[in-house]
Chain A
Amino acid sequence: MTTTDIETVVQADAPAKRAGALRRLLRRPLGVMALFILASLIVLGLLEPVLNTHPPTFSSLQHVNAPPGTPGWPFGGDQYGRDIWARVLSSINVSLISALIGAGVGLMVGVGFGLIAGYVGKRTDAVSSWVFNLLMTFPSLVLIIILFPVTGGTFQSTMVIFGFFLAPGIFRLVRNLVVGVRNELYVDAARVSGLSNRRILTRHVLYVVRGPIIISAAFLASAAIGVQAGLAFLGFGAAQVSFGAMTSDAFVNIYSQPVQLVWAAGFLALLNGSLVLLGNAYRDALAAPQATVKRRPRRLLGEAVIKPAVSDTPSSKPAADATSGLLTVRNLWVKYPQPHGSEKAVVRGVSLDVAPGEIVGLVGESGSGKTQTAFSVLGLLPKEASVSADALAVAGESLLDKHAGAMRRLRGSAIAYIPQEPMANLDPSFTIGSQLVEGLSAGMSRREAKDTVLQLLARVGITDPVRTFKSYPHQISGGMAQRVLIAGAVAGRPKLLIADEPTTALDVTIQAEILDLLRDLQGEYGMGVLLVTHNFGVVADLCDRVLVMRSGEMVESGNVRSIFHQPQHPYTRELIASILDEETVRTDPAPGSARTHEEAL
């Protein structure tokens, strides 16, 4: 192995420092504002002893219902002549402590049990889920009020109890997140590395699921503040200075001094609002796109319309010779917009032809643009892709500027498609039969369609077509599902079949059967086939011609034998050389087995 491995060289540029969720939060105006408000309120609360002009319970008869701005009484006085400003500061502290206790207890109980229930599973999970579900059914407010004599009515003890009632929500969230993470391979790897369960839970599980927990913590805190204020407003624990008690007092004066209501309600709204907005901003920050390595797009939303090339390359003659072959592609470009405004071309000026009755293999490694090329022909690229070509025609019909409806009709008749993952391409909630009939029902009665489907199923080698017709996708194997999709694809007697890695997800014995089936059907229907694959064995088995792609460009094309025996382009040579040779088996002896051999002698 040489040291000039292309693959091992990590691009030395762009240290690509990960922007943590917190830093991304600070880039959002909403996040900055919510954080600023919350922090200011906390500072006000902490500085209460310095800032207040009187103790919150001090009352002065001269200042009963004093207007705001009275010297020494900046927010005025209430009906008992108490300093509203001092009471606001004190209430902030009460609310913050309520939030800490309520959310803290809820988080500790919910996260603790959620982690254990999700990770251990089985009986622990069943029992704790049952208990928390039961807890959820209790009317929490009523219970807190009933327990008032027991708890002594302090807001701290009330919040401890309320924390337990907040726990079920968190418990369910954490449990479900953990169940999703528990079976990840990195958790298995950590177990194999000999990590203790506690360490796996904190380092691998909790760390990964922390985002949603932080978000709901903000909402829990705001719920705790709201409930504390609500109870105090109703008169439970009204002896304690708090926003609830203040609102209640101000309520009495609502006709004479309505401004008194503003202070308590305003600060309470600011506090709760900042918590909720902070939670939202953090969620947005977590959901924001990051610099991730993209895996193959699973779902395609909308479709891009293929534009005629805007003469970047004026030399190429447009569409003149486009009618000769079955599929003609000239100078195809596919570009995707990048986050920072520029465009990235994933297919760069590809031209290819497929003649009627010909099987053409399109090979390349991941990221070579082979699937993008095939999907352009199908008209199935996502909307944000900008696709252009000098010519793109199937059976003499140009696909340039075709709108979605026309492409759909074409896909039903002239072009058919076989996907890589058969199971993902069948709807799990409908029977196989109904999905196939639906695709056919245009132009024939349901009876005819059903008969045709049954014939097709028999044709693609399904032994009991009637039973498969009535089956749901989960009831059949992957190989069968691929046969079903092939039946669906050839139902419209297409002229061109595009197969995207049709056997990659299948076992070799099944793969051999599917390849046989494709070869037979191709001969029978005389279809042209564009076969996208990375497997040279499949190419050798099926293809007449081969096109080799690398990073969006076509590097070589030719007859299948000449590609295998006299590859011209260095990249093709490298690919062919990477195929593990069948003749060479490993011959160097294993040291251990050699020893046993000697001992045997």
Chain B
Amino acid sequence: MTALLTVSDLRLRYPGGGFRKPSPEVLKGVSLEIAPGETLGLVGESGSGKTTLGRAVLGLAAPTGGSMVFGGKDITRMPQRQRRPLAQDLQVVFQDPYTSLNPALQIADILSEPLIAQGVDANEARKRVGELLDRVQLPANAAERYPREFSGGQRQRVAIARAVALKPKLIVCDEPVSALDLTTQARVLELLIELQRSTGVSYLFITHDLSVVRHISHRVAVMYRGELVETGPVAEVTNNPKNEYTQRLLLAAPTADPDRQRERREARRQLLAAAG
């Protein structure tokens, strides 16, 4: 098996709930694999559990069942101390570039932090900051600035630079472009694809936006109420969906063409009418 990440029958419920009534299960047995250099798009609506799955992989949420194997190591219930070296290989880009960068730190500090945490010498880390900014096409003078001096798209570039600083094998991207403007969104996606081509990093790309998924994913997994309802190559799932929910999801997304959108609307009405 050459998979980089293998998730098998992952279950998770958040702590809480009543004395005899446990809290609802957020992940109900999810299984997926990500190969090296591959993007797996994880699509779903709010509350489907897609973000929770990403957080479980990152060690920010504790699974209640199943297993996760990353690079040959079982990371299902790895204690935080043992997890630390894993940061070399497993990174994250969050949705909101406004809260994912510490407002009190300069960009240089934000970018050198993961390097220093992994034992890189502080001077060496500062030197690498320039390279990282260059990678994400930000000017070198960005290093001495604070996050608030940047637009949403630029901040997201900083977040991406932080994620690639350690040359990880997998980056969990949780809705990284959904807070951005249309033109910015297209550029950030280009950047992510370019980084993948040059470094061979894998992405677990979590999003609700089907057009984004088409653009960046090799394979797609569709999540609905804590379960994966359909998984497959991107062309197959988005052009020829087997699952009823996937069909509904695809038809609900409006297309940017008045005439084609009219057809899609009709198709959706028929599907809903047929479903009763």
Contacts and interface: CB of A to CB of B under 8 A. Distances in A.
A208 B103 contact: yes
A186 B210 contact: no
A191 B4 CA distance: 21
A515 B87 CA distance: 43
Interface in A365-412: 365-366
Given A512-B268, A580-B212, A589-B218, A365 B101 contact: no
B77 to A, nearest CB: 16
A585 B212 contact: no
Contact of B46 (A184, A192, A208, A507): A507
A208 to B, nearest CB: 5
B148 A193 contact: no
B194 interface: yes
A586 B96 CA distance: 25
Given A208-B103, A508-B249, A586 B216 contact: yes
B35 A585 contact: no
A500 B3 CA distance: 45
Contact of B114 (A3, A193, A541): A193
A10 B3 CA distance: 40
B39 A590 contact: yes
A537 B253 contact: yes
Contacts of A591: 36-38, 200
A329 B160 CA distance: 43
A536 B162 CA distance: 32
A564 B261 CA distance: 12
A464 interface: no
A199 interface: yes
Interface of A: 1, 3, 5, 7-10, 12, 15-16, 18, 184-186, 188-197, 199, 203-204, 207-208, 290-293, 295, 365-366, 478, 507-512, 515-516, 534-541, 560-561, 564, 574-576, 578-582, 584-593, 595-596, 599
Contact of B2 (A199, A203, A508, A599): A599
A593 B91 contact: no
Given A189-B92, A193-B117, A507-B208, A12 B141 contact: yes
Contact of B194 (A1, A189, A197, A539): A1
B23 interface: no
Given A192-B60, A194-B117, A593 B218 contact: yes
A580 B35 contact: no
A592 B95 CA distance: 26
A512 B149 contact: no
Nearest to B87: A194
B245 to A, nearest CB: 9
A540 B181 CA distance: 18
A44 to B, nearest CB: 36
A582 B190 CA distance: 16
Given A18-B146, A192-B60, A8 B214 contact: no
B182 A596 contact: no
Contact of A293 (B149, B235, B238, B265): B149
Contacts of A595: 2, 35-36
B102 A186 contact: yes
B117 A195 contact: yes
A579 B103 CA distance: 31
Interface in B160-214: 162, 166, 181-187, 189-191, 193-194, 197, 200, 202, 208, 210-212, 214
A580 B186 contact: yes
B58 A537 contact: no
B137 A8 contact: yes
Contact of A537 (B105, B216, B254): B254
Contact of B252 (A197, A508, A590): A508
Contacts of A189: 92, 94, 100, 159, 162
Contacts of B253: 508, 512, 537
B145 interface: yes
Contacts of A592: 2-4, 35-38, 202
Given A1-B191, A7-B151, A293-B148, A365 B91 contact: no
Contacts of B191: 1
B157 interface: yes
A126 B262 CA distance: 57
Nearest to B220: A585
Contacts, number: 243
Shortest beta-carbon contacts, A-B, top 5: A194-B87, A537-B254, A592-B35, A590-B38, A592-B36
Nearest to B236: A585
21 contacts: A7-B153, A12-B141, A15-B144, A185-B95, A188-B60, A189-B92, A189-B162, A366-B181, A508-B45, A508-B208, A578-B183, A580-B211, A580-B215, A582-B255, A585-B238, A590-B36, A590-B39, A591-B38, A591-B200, A593-B218, A595-B36
A51 B246 CA distance: 85
B182 A293 contact: no
Contacts of A366: 152, 181
B256 interface: yes
Contacts of B139: 8-10, 12
A590 B201 CA distance: 10
B248 interface: yes
B248 to A, nearest CB: 6
A538 B261 CA distance: 9
Nearest to A207: B104
Contacts of A12: 139, 141
A56 B98 CA distance: 59
Contacts of B141: 10, 12, 15
B33 to A, nearest CB: 9
Contacts of B4: 592
Interface in B15-72: 35-39, 45-46, 58-60
Contacts of B268: 512
Given A8-B157, A540-B254, A578-B185, A191 B60 contact: yes
A186 B101 contact: yes
Nearest to A210: B104
A191 B55 CA distance: 11
Given A10-B138, A189-B94, A591-B38, 10 more contacts: A10-B139, A191-B59, A193-B87, A196-B117, A207-B104, A365-B184, A536-B182, A581-B211, A592-B38, A592-B202
Contact of B80 (A197, A295, A539, A564): A197
B162 to A, nearest CB: 7
B256 A540 contact: yes
Contacts of B39: 586, 590
A193 B46 contact: no
A192 B149 contact: no
B98 A508 contact: no
Contacts of A5: 137, 187
A535 B268 CA distance: 19
B102 A208 contact: yes
A535 B256 CA distance: 8
Contact of B265 (A199, A538, A541): A541
A3 B190 CA distance: 13
A292 B193 CA distance: 31
A593 B118 CA distance: 30
